[in-house]
């Protein structure tokens, strides 16, 4: 037995069955205990922005009730803070709440890149930039794990859409993979040592993430030095024997013994080395040991009250002032104020899906205004659906005509953003935009309070004098919005993703989610500002944008060399306004070497600086070899090209205040042998362009009768199976019974759950509770769809084991 294993002595005492059992969960949220050897079970819970601990049997999509915990702003909001210290404070709070509620591992953070603004789960991810995402994730992880609570960095890797996510194949060229889609994971692993990492559902370049040895061992463990446990997303296991060979340790939830039996059989047949099972068991034992020395006795009695106040501070620090014409904000005390919009009274504070939190309190904007003694008139204005309501609109119009400043609360409703499905448009609900048009005709002093976890189109922007983006601000977001509107707090956020003028301007807009089974990333690394800025595409608001209630001057940029590629960029920043406030200094590196294709510039440093009126400070941003390097696929290493690099210091990717040139040594610069598109970015790339950097590949061919298999989903089988169509109807009825409200696509929870079940590979049907089918019966469904009537019926009628 490998002497390097931490728990070799314990593993020697275990039977093969016991070792294998450790690698699969106990129900939805626990690992299996082994009382004979004093190995306890540990509890895992969702929690990127608040803990979702379910005390009953549970589910993995947020339908069943959970204990009350603090709901902080979602990841898309937290990233807008550009403040690693703030993220560590949120992690610290979540770690304490994990202790208070008996949670050993928090399932988060999510650092998938925002390849396209329509991804339904973008609210749960940080940014379109890997450097920002990685730095913030590392800080969050350090905050949580300081309390002996583990985290699970997710979803590894290239899970960038919800459509078909359970079985899609992300085709990504190696440079895009290394330079764009993996660095956030790499930084979090190297800088924060997460206890666990969660693999995604999808395939990457033809191999399921759960079976992908290149990702899980070659890159994650051998290159990055990850020493923790790798688990599946819930139901993401494809082939457990292959997954153990690939470096995966824990299957969640359990598959009711199916995969355990397959692993035991593989070891007994000599197809799987028992040493790999021992290694897997050792990592599970190491996780249990790491996350069971928690002490909750020292927590304050008013913990959740303190965290509600922290959530308020955090939400204000994340709010982004997009526009402020004539300095209409902050609002002047004592002036007439009209508030219109259902979100003012019924706040939308988080997204739908597995990250849903049951908050300890929920505060609205109206409560926040009342707390500060602000007199206001209020009208609901619109329904939280797309349906027009003339009566509500007329009531709002009557109030708007009375004059004064009008705060209009609009944004994306729950149906627009959710795990399980992607958005279909950047537009807001039609009834909200129609209301904006109506109100502007009678009152030009409109301040828009904008809610949403992802970019929104703003054709109405010229009708608003100010726009304050609150994202999905958590349970105290309404209080924070009032604080910022009234100038009690500064709008502390900057955009962590570009806001396009229209969806057609997004490079992947014409092909994103169009072929869910096979997803070629034609655009390579050119997503977000990397595309918009490189191609010179106008945007509504650029990456890093955000206004302040004060002003700053920037001066005297100088570079201090510490090593061959180690530099410090230093400058002086001064608050020249009359209010205290924060500026975010952003450092972009712009290669001028004329070599490999690259974005025109990339974020390689940032610092949030708080200054009093008249205060000046020196800001220092470090750079190293990776700040300038590209990934050489042939050499399989990071290299710096010799030549000129320009350093841009700015308040956004398009608001550059200071620049300096840097001449660096390195490998000889050489043009990439690829299609010209990756240099000029003209038009829209397709398969021909992509193959020049990826290599040739075969287009996906949909399965038909005679070729169906366990990776097909129920909707696909239903094309040739009446029984599968009946089963689809039964599932729909079952979900309608479980989920209150309208059981159709107007209910986001119903839509999310139905999409998840019927688009999962049918092999995953055995995981859904309560279990209806075993794996033999699922194979029977496949047989029937393939026209193998006798074999299919025999399997369907086989008794469960």
Written in H, E and C, the secondary structure of 91-154 is HHHHHHHHHHHCCCEEECCECCCCCCCCCCCHHHECCCCHHHHHHHHHHHHHHHHCCCCEEEEE
For strands 196-199 and 150-156, give the pairing.
parallel
Strands 518-520 and 169-171, how do they pair? parallel
Mean pLDDT of 700-729: 93
Instruction: Identify the pLDDT of residue 224.
Output: 98
pLDDT at 758 exceeding the cut of 80 = yes
Q: What is the β-pairing status of strands 169-171 and 567-575?
A: unpaired
What is the H or E stretch that residue 245 is in?
helix 240-246
Q: Residue 743 above 60 pLDDT?
A: yes
Indicate left, alpha or beta for 502 from its phi (over 0: left) and psi (-120 to 50: alpha).
beta
Mean pLDDT of 3-12: 89
Mean pLDDT, rounded, for 602-624? 98
Q: Which residues pair with 593 in a beta bridge?
A: none
Predicted local confidence at residue 296, as pLDDT: 76
In the CATH scheme, what architecture does the domain 550-670 have? Sandwich (2.60)
For residue 560 the two structure tokens come to 């201090």
- Indicate the pLDDT class of residue 65, thresholds 50, 70 and 90: confident
Which residue of the set 233, 260, 711, 783 is catalytic? 233
Closest to 151 in 3D by CA, of 202, 185, 127, 128: 185
Go through 124-152 and write b for each residue having 16 or more CB atoms within 10 A of its CB, e for each that does not.
bbbbbbbbbbbbbbbbbbbbbbebbbbbb
Mean pLDDT rounded to a whole number for the chain:
94
- For the cut 70, the answer to whether the pLDDT of residue 64 exceeds it is no
For the chain, the first-to-last Cα distance in angstroms comes to 33
Residue 659 has pLDDT above 90, yes or no: yes
Task: Calculate mean pLDDT across residues 688-703.
Answer: 96
Pairing of strands 337-340, 377-379: parallel
CA-to-CA separations, 495 to 134, 167, 485, 533, 653, in angstroms, rounded: 16, 32, 18, 15, 10
pLDDT of residue 415: 87
Compute CA 590 distance to the chain's CA centroid, rounded to the nearest angstrom: 27
The mean pLDDT of 620-636, rounded to a whole number, is: 97
Strands 229-232 and 196-199, bridge-based pairing: parallel
The pLDDT, as a whole number, for residue 107 is 98
Residues of the chain with CATH 2.60.40.10: 550-670
Q: Evaluate if residue 61 carries a pLDDT over 60.
A: no
Residue 1 has pLDDT above 50, yes or no: no
Whether 469 contacts 75, CB under 8 Å: no
Look at 727 and 734; give whichever has higher pLDDT. Answer: 727
Residues 6+ apart with CB under 8 A from 568: 559, 560, 562, 620, 621, 622, 623
CB 447 within 8 A of CB 328: yes
Q: Which residues pair with 378 in a beta bridge?
A: 339
pLDDT tens track for 215-258 = 999 999 999 999 999 999 999 999 999 999 999 999 999 888 88
Determine whether 533 is an active site residue. no
Mean pLDDT of 449-461: 97
Instruction: Report d(CA 335, CA 517) in Å as an integer.
Output: 56
3-class DSSP state for residue 652?
strand
User: What 3-state DSSP class applies to 54?
Assistant: coil
pLDDT digits (tens, 9 = 90+) for 296-339: 778 999 999 999 999 999 999 999 999 999 999 999 988 889 99
DSSP 8-class letter at 428: P
Query: Which pLDDT band, with edges at 50, 70 and 90, does 293 fall under?
Result: confident
The pLDDT, as a whole number, for residue 800 is: 43
Q: What is the pLDDT of residues 485-542, one digit of tens each?
A: 999 999 999 999 999 999 999 999 999 999 999 999 999 999 999 999 999 999 999 9
**Average pLDDT, stretch 262-276?**
97
Token output for 49: 């922005």
Is residue 285 predicted with pLDDT exceeding 70? yes
Query: What pLDDT score does 624 carry?
Result: 98
Separation CA 55–CA 60 (nearest Å): 13
225's enclosing H/E stretch is none
Percent of the chain at pLDDT exceeding 70: 97
**Residue 605 scores a pLDDT above 70:** yes
727: left (phi over 0), alpha (psi -120 to 50) or beta: alpha
Residue 556 region by backbone torsions, left for phi larger than 0, else alpha for psi between -120 and 50, else beta = left
Which phi and psi angles does 244 have, rounded to 5°?
-65, -40
Does 60 have pLDDT greater than 80?
A: no
Does the pLDDT of residue 202 top 90, yes or no? yes
Q: Which residues of 323-336 are buried (b: 16+ CB within 10 A; e: fewer)?
A: bbeeebbbbeeeee
Q: Is the per-residue pLDDT at 161 higher than 50?
A: yes
Residue 97 has pLDDT above 60, yes or no: yes
Q: Are 645 and 587 in contact (CB under 8 A)?
A: no
CA dist 49 and 671 (Å) reads: 44
What is the pLDDT at residue 59? 53
Residue range 128-146, pLDDT digits in tens: 999 999 999 999 999 999 9
pTM comes to: 0.96
**Separation CA 301–CA 611 (nearest Å):** 34
Does residue 773 have a pLDDT over 90? no
Q: How far is CA 418 from CA 24, 93, 340, 414, in A?
A: 28, 25, 25, 7
At residue 752, the pLDDT reads 87
**CATH code, 8-290:** 3.20.20.300
Q: Which two tokens stand for residue 351?
A: 């997204």
- pLDDT tens for 396-439 read 999 999 989 999 999 999 988 989 899 999 999 999 999 999 99
Report which of 112, 247, 80 is spatially closest to residue 521, judged by C-alpha positions.
112
Rounded distance between C-alpha atoms, residue 60 and residue 53, angstroms: 11
Q: In what order do the strands lie in the sheet with 552-561?
A: 552-561, 567-575, 616-623
pLDDT at residue 801, rounded to an integer: 42
149: Cα within 13 Å, side-chain hemisphere: 33
Q: Is 635 exposed, middle or buried (0-12, 13-18, 19+ CB in 10 A)?
A: exposed
């Amino acid at each position: 037995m490998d002497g390097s294993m931490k728990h070799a002595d314990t593993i020697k005492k275990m039977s093969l069955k016991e070792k294998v059992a450790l690698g699969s969960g106990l129900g939805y949220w626990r690992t299996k205990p082994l009382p004979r050897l004093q190995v306890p079970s540990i509890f895992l819970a969702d929690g990127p922005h608040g803990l979702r601990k379910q005390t009953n049997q549970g589910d993995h999509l947020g339908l069943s009730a959970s204990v009350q915990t603090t709901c902080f702003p979602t990841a898309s909001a937290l990233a807008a803070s550009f403040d690693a210290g703030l993220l560590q404070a949120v992690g610290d709070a979540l770690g304490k709440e994990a202790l208070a509620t008996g949670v050993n591992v928090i399932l988060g953070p999510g650092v998938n890149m925002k390849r396209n603004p329509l991804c339904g789960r973008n609210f749960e991810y940080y940014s379109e930039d890997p450097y920002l995402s990685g730095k913030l994730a590392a800080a969050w992880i350090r905050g949580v794990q300081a309390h002996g609570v583990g985290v699970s960095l997710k979803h590894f890797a290239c899970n960038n859409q919800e459509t078909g996510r359970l079985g899609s194949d992300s085709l990504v060229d190696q440079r895009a993979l290394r330079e764009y889609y993996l660095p956030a994971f790499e930084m979090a692993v190297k800088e924060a040592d997460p206890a666990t990492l969660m693999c995604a559902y999808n395939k990457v370049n033809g191999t399921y993430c759960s079976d992908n040895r290149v990702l899980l061992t070659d890159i994650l463990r051998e290159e990055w030095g990850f020493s923790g446990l790798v688990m599946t997303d819930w139901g993401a296991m494809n082939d457990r024997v292959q997954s153990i060979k690939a470096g995966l340790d824990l299957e969640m939830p359990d598959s009711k013994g199916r995969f355990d039996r397959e692993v035991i059989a593989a070891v007994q047949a000599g197809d799987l080395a028992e040493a790999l099972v021992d290694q897997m068991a050792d990592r599970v034992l190491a996780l249990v040991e790491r996350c069971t020395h928690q002490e909750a006795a020292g927590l304050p009695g008013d913990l959740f009250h303190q965290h509600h106040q922290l959530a308020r501070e955090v939400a204000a620090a994340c709010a982004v002032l997009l526009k402020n014409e004539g300095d209409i904000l902050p609002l002047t005390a004592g002036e007439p104020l009209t508030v219109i919009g259902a979100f003012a009274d019924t706040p939308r504070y988080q997204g739908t899906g597995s990250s849903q939190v049951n908050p300890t309190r929920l505060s609205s904007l109206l409560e926040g205004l009342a707390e500060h003694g602000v007199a206001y008139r209020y009208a609901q204005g619109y329904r939280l659906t797309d349906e027009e309501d003339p009566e509500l609109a007329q009531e709002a119009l009557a109030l708007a005509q009375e004059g004064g400043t009008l705060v209009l609360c609009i944004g994306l409703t729950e149906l627009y953003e959710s795990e399980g499905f992607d958005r279909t448009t950047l537009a807001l609900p039609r009834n909200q935009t129609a209301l904006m048009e109506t109100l502007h005709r009678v009152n030009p002093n409109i301040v828009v309070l904008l809610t949403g976890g992802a970019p929104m189109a703003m054709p109405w922007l010229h009708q608003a004098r100010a726009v304050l983006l609150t994202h999905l601000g958590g349970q105290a977001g309404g209080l924070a919005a009032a604080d910022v509107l009234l100038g009690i707090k500064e709008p502390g956020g900057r955009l962590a993703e570009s806001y396009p003028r229209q969806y057609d301007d997004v490079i992947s807009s014409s092909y994103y989610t169009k072929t869910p089974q096979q997803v070629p990333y034609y655009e390579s690394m050119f997503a977000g500002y990397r595309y918009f800025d490189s191609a010179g595409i106008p945007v509504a608001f650029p990456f890093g944008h955000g206004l302040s209630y004060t002003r700053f001057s920037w001066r005297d940029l100088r570079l201090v060399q510490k090593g061959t590629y180690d530099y410090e960029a230093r400058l002086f920043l001064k608050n020249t306004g009359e209010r205290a406030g924060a500026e975010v200094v952003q450092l972009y590196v712009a290669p001028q070497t004329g070599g490999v294709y690259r974005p025109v510039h990339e974020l390689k440093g940032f610092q949030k600086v708080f200054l009093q009126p008249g205060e000046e400070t020196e800001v220092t941003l470090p750079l190293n070899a990776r700040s300038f390097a590209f990934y050489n696929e042939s050499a399989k290493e990071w290299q710096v090209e010799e030549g000129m690099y320009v350093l841009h210091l700015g308040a956004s990717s398009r608001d550059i205040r200071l620049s300096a040139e840097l001449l660096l040594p390195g490998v000889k610069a050489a043009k990439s042998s690829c299609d010209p598109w990756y240099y000029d970015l003209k038009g829209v790339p397709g398969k021909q362009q992509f193959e020049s950097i990826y290599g040739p590949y075969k287009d996906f061919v949909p399965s038909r009768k005679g070729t169906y298999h366990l990776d097909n989903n129920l909707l696909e089988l239903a094309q040739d199976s009446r029984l599968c169509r009946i089963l689809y109807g039964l599932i729909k009825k079952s979900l309608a019974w479980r989920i209150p409200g309208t059981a159709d696509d107007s209910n986001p929870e119903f839509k999310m759950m139905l999409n998840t079940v019927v688009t999962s590979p049918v092999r995953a049907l055995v995981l859904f509770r309560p279990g209806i089918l075993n794996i033999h019966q699922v194979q029977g469904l496949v047989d029937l769809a393939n026209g193998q009537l006798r074999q299919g019926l025999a399997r369907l009628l086989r008794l469960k084991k």
